[in-house]
Structures are given as structure tokens and as C-alpha cells.
Amino acid sequence: MTSRYKRLLLKVSGEGFARKGETGLDVERVRALAEQLKKLTAEGVEIACVIGGGNILRGTQSSDLGIDRATADYMGMLATVINGLALCDALEAHGVPTRVLSAIEVNKVCEPFIRRRALRHMEKGRVVVLAGGLGSPYFTTDTAAAQRAVELGCDVLLKATMVDGVYDSDPNENPDAAHIPELSFTEVLDRQLRVMDQTAFAMCRENGLSLMVFNMECPDGVVRAAAGENVGTVIQN
Ligand code: UDP
């Protein structure tokens, strides 16, 4: 299968790194993702991967934890570094050269995020795993994914999540919820559909960055999405 895109940004939610309904890391899932990324790098596709941290901690849980929100957000960002290191290890075990670049400095284990360095790594065929979100509290890794995709000149944002794409209502609450394969940015706004958080969505819309939302459990989903097959929901202008 040949990729449609030269450079892509893959956003993987932290949940995709854990067993269904559980927290923590499921190494098998991380390995399965690494196998798919290996296929794409073999075709010469440049890949930046933004990792979530929801399998370990989300800042919005701060009040449940009795922790200050900003502190909990920094904890969430550190969680993404843990996931990033796990993905880096799995990729290297598959022979794929990789660098973890973090927006918050954790110099013992990864490089700081520097745009030109990230670009250079990708040109050299290294997968860049972007950890630490944007490095600031009150943001999400979806927003980091949209921002980095624009900053790094990626052709598309592939958002691998735990649902099959966008529905007209919440499929977990409404058994009759209908899947929508294609949408424009305006339709998402008019129909008040939930795709990603508003900051992330605005970043994609304002910069004309096409995105595809799909289920991480879809067989070879990342490879097929990169080939241009609609395996979930495509949102574009
Ligand atoms: N986070 C943050 N700033 C960022 C990115 C992430 O504060 O730029 C924190 C925030 O607490 C978030 C957590 O890191 O809840 C984990 O990221 P996210 O919830 O986006 O992960 P996902 O839902 O994709 O697993």
C-alpha cells in the first residue's frame, strides 16, 4: 500500500496504549502500533507522533485527586513522556530510528522540542515522537497535535482514538447514533458535533489542516489511513 501523504502527524490517545477499560501500559498495543509505523517508514513517509497520556493521568481529574489543576496538568504532560518512551522503545525494537522530543524538558531521557531539529530528524527518516503536549497546562494533546501538524508542515492529522469516527450523537449513550464518514469544518460547527476540543478544532479549521478520526483498533488502520482510505471520518474544507 502506498502512502498518500509525504509527512503526516499521528495523534494517539493514551487510552490506545492501555487494555480496554484499564489504565497503565499494554506493551502489546504499543508494539502493534510500532509495526504499523514501520511499514510507513519503509515507504519513506515522514512521521511525527503526538502521544496522549489519558491511560495514566488527565489534568481534568485534578479535583477528584484533590490536586491543583495546573500541577495535575504537568503530571499529565509527564505521563505523555512515559508513553513516548514506550513507543520509542517499541519502534527501535522494530529497527525504526526514533527520537523523543518533549515540550517540557526532561533532558536525561529525551531531547527538547526544537522545530528545526524535529524537521531534520524526519528528513533523515526518524520517527519523531512528540511528548509533553505543548508544555503548558490547560491544553490537551489534541491541541498539541493540531499545532505541531501545522508548525511542521504535515499534510494531514490522523487522530487514532477509541471510537470509529464521528457520530451524530454519542454512540456510548445512544444505540441509534449514526456514523458520519465525511464532514466539512462548517458542518461540524453547524451540527455541533464533537470531534476534538475546540482549541484543537479551531487550529485545524483556520489552517485548512485535513484530519481523519478513526479507531486505533481498526486492523492496519494507520497504514490504511495514510494510504488515503477513509477508515473513520474525514474532516476537510
Ligand atoms: N496536558 C497539558 N498540556 C498540553 C498537553 C497535555 O496540560 O499541552 C496534560 C493535560 O492534563 C491532559 C494530559 O496532559 O489531560 C494528558 O493529555 P490528554 O488528556 O490530551 O491525553 P489523551 O486524552 O489523548 O490520552
Would you say the pTM of this structure is higher than 0.95?
Answer: yes
Backbone angles phi, psi at 111, to 5 degrees: -80, 155
Measured in Å, residue 2 CA sits from the centre of ligand 1 at 32
The CATH homologous superfamily to which domain 7-236 belongs is Acetylglutamate kinase-like (3.40.1160.10)
- Helix segments in 69-140, DSSP class H: 69-93, 115-123
Q: Residues 118-154: pLDDT tens digits? A: 999 999 999 999 999 999 999 999 999 999 999 999 9
pLDDT confidence band for 172 (50 / 70 / 90):
confident
Residue 1 pLDDT > 70, yes or no? no
pLDDT of res. 76? 97
pLDDT confidence band for 182 (50 / 70 / 90):
very high
Pocket lining for ligand 1, CB < 6 angstroms: 13-15, 52-54, 58-60, 72-73, 76-77, 79-80, 133-134, 136-137, 139-142, 144
- Which of 23-27, 61-65, 171-175 is least confident? 61-65
∠ Cα 121 82 217 (to 5°): 85
For the chain, the average pLDDT equals 96
Q: Is 181 helix (H, G, I), strand (E, B) or coil?
A: coil
Q: Tell which atom from ligand 1 comes closest to the C-alpha of 77.
A: 14
Q: Tell which atom from ligand 1 comes closest to the C-alpha of 134.
A: 8
Residue 116 pLDDT > 90, yes or no? yes
Query: Average pLDDT for residues 181-206, to the nearest whole number?
Result: 97
Rounded CA separation 22/29 (Å): 13
Rounded CA separation 98/8 (Å): 15
Measured in Å, residue 13 CA sits from the centre of ligand 1 at 9
pLDDT of res. 65? 86
Q: Residues 26-53: pLDDT tens digits? A: 999 999 999 999 999 999 999 999 999 9
Query: Average pLDDT for residues 68-96, to the nearest whole number?
Result: 97
- Between 21 and 70, the higher pLDDT residue: 70
Residue 2 pLDDT > 90, yes or no? no
CB atoms within 10 A of CB 174: 11
